[in-house]
Chain A
Amino acid sequence: MRERAAAIDATAADWAARVDRGPLSEAEQAELDAWAAADPRRAGAYARARAVSAHFDRARALGDDFVPARHPEARRRSRRRFLAGAGGLLAAGFAGAGVFALSRLNGRVATHKGDVRRVALSDGSAVTLNTDTAVRQAYGDKVRRVVLIRGEALFDVAKDAARPFDVVAGPVRVRAVGTSFTVRILPDDEVVVMVREGVVEVRRGDASPVRLAADRAVTVAASRPLAPVTLPAGGAERATAWRQGMLDLDGLTLAEAAGEYARYTDRRIRIADPAVAAMRVTGLFSMSDPDGFARAAALSLDLKVTSEPDGLRLDPRS
């Protein structure tokens, strides 16, 4: 069984006390060396014990008339726990994106590359804009319409049976009553719709609509009929991890992952070797740290990393 840190500290303190007494004999030094060499934690605990001992040399400054027994701490030893617990204040989470009122932005709101922004709509619905995205609000009496001009957005729709919620993305219209779904315009003008909750209707032009339920997604392209697919368990949540500043790269090739990062940042991850480009990655990554992702991928897949002015290059190790 692994030696516990507290046990190591105890032995380390004893050694520091021994050194504090006077120089070690050769045999003692050999014994200390052998003990410390067996585990780096021991060597570290001993160094720390020596540091703490050195730290307490400053107690000389307390002066000869310092009487520790009269110090309040000496009487308070049993109720010292009063300070515990304040550390929890530190809990740092991803700072939630600020909520903007769309009405104050003349109905149009956009994000720059790398930004994610949540926008509250007047009816209680909300739109979360992913990187490099623009939407326009066009609410009417009969229908709540939002136009996705470019990019990707998540729509959390407040229930209002009398006034359906429409997202218009080019020729594609997605209609919901109360639900949560994303719409994304791909560079080639294909539109991807993914449903987190509820049901939406997806319609392209005048064709008849397709109903799309939770955890289903469909890619709308001019040339193909609508063929919804079912997402794996948890897929919808992972696909919207960008709301928390994370990217879901599970199952993508390195080339595809590099392409995903290109959506969020101008830092480039370059991969020339096709075998490297085809390697699979897994996991959720911070969208703001393409270099960190590339280095981690290199670490895990044993690749060579080269820094370039605008990013990193990944190559096989020769």
Chain B
Amino acid sequence: MGAVSDERAVWLARHALPAEPALRAWLARQPRFHLEVDDIVQETYAVLAGLERVDHIVNPRTYMFQVAKTVILQALRRRRVIAFETLAAADSLEIPDDQPGADVVLADRQELGRVAALIAALPAKCREAFTLRKVLGLSQKEVAARMGLSESTVEKHIGRGLRQVMNAMGRGGSGRIAASRKRGARTEPPAEDARARSRD
């Protein structure tokens, strides 16, 4: 259960995280099921993490939506009382088309700008530890030596930082989701894109 290989983590980072804002938006448009979007997203990741193999998945985004739909159906079936029409509605949920504009995957450079912005938004100590670990690529042990802190304190800073960026990339990050949506609607790009552009 608690085993997630590095390869799987990278696969999820590459394929699941970019699709997550669209998945959350889609789930948020299904209020009739009275399910928590966060719960469905977490369970969806559990299924993706637990797959024996992922190399057969041609379209990870569609696959992720299908998994989420299965999770919804399972959650509904666990309820003791369920209206027939609710189950029917869940079963006939349509997975949005995977076409340009339907989902917005940030270009690499834009995504890098977002990563920079998310790190910059961390509290100072946490930001310093996170920068040394993720930008300079030091180990947590080296970060501890550099900052004059214990390793376990560095671990706590990294954990706090992860929590905040996880939040920003999902639940608390509606602004980010909205931002990528805005781009999808071909209106002006959000500020961090402009910054990413101006830097190079």
Taking Cβ atoms with an 8 Å cutoff, the residues of A that contact B are 5-6, 8-10, 12-18, 20-22, 29, 32-37, 40-64, 66, 68-69, 71-74, 76-77, 80-87, 89-92, 281-286, 289, 292-293, 295-297, 299-300
Contacts and interface: CB of A to CB of B under 8 A. Distances in A.
A72 B199 CA distance: 12
Q: Is the interface of A mostly helix, strand, loop or mixed?
A: helix
Contact of A62 (B6, B115, B139): B115
26 contacts: A5-B42, A9-B167, A16-B162, A17-B156, A22-B141, A36-B2, A43-B1, A43-B2, A44-B45, A47-B12, A52-B165, A53-B162, A56-B115, A59-B131, A69-B120, A71-B119, A73-B116, A80-B175, A82-B175, A89-B181, A92-B29, A281-B84, A283-B83, A292-B88, A299-B88, A300-B88
Which among A14, A35, A76 has the highest number of chain B CB atoms within 10 Å? A14
A195 to B, nearest CB: 26
A37 B47 CA distance: 13
Contact of B135 (A6, A59, A69): A59
A88 B39 CA distance: 21
Which bracket fits the contact residues of B? 35 or more
Given A47-B45, A77-B121, A90-B29, 15 more contacts: A5-B39, A6-B38, A13-B163, A20-B155, A32-B2, A41-B42, A47-B4, A52-B166, A66-B135, A74-B121, A87-B177, A282-B83, A292-B92, A296-B84, A296-B91
B156 to A, nearest CB: 7
Interface string B79-112: 0000111011101100000000000000000011
B174 interface: yes
Contact of A84 (B136, B169, B174): B174
B64 to A, nearest CB: 12
Given A44-B46, A283-B84, A296-B88, A56 B2 contact: no
A17 B162 contact: yes
Interface of B: 1-4, 6, 8-10, 12-13, 16-17, 25, 28-29, 36, 38-39, 41-50, 73, 83-85, 87-89, 91-92, 111-112, 115-122, 124, 127, 130-131, 133-137, 139-141, 151, 154-156, 158-160, 162-163, 165-167, 169-171, 174-179, 181-182, 185, 190-192, 195
A44 B91 contact: no
B109 to A, nearest CB: 9
Scoring B10, B92, B111, B131 by chain A CB atoms within 10 A of each residue's CB, the highest score goes to B92
A299 B91 contact: yes
Contacts, number: 264
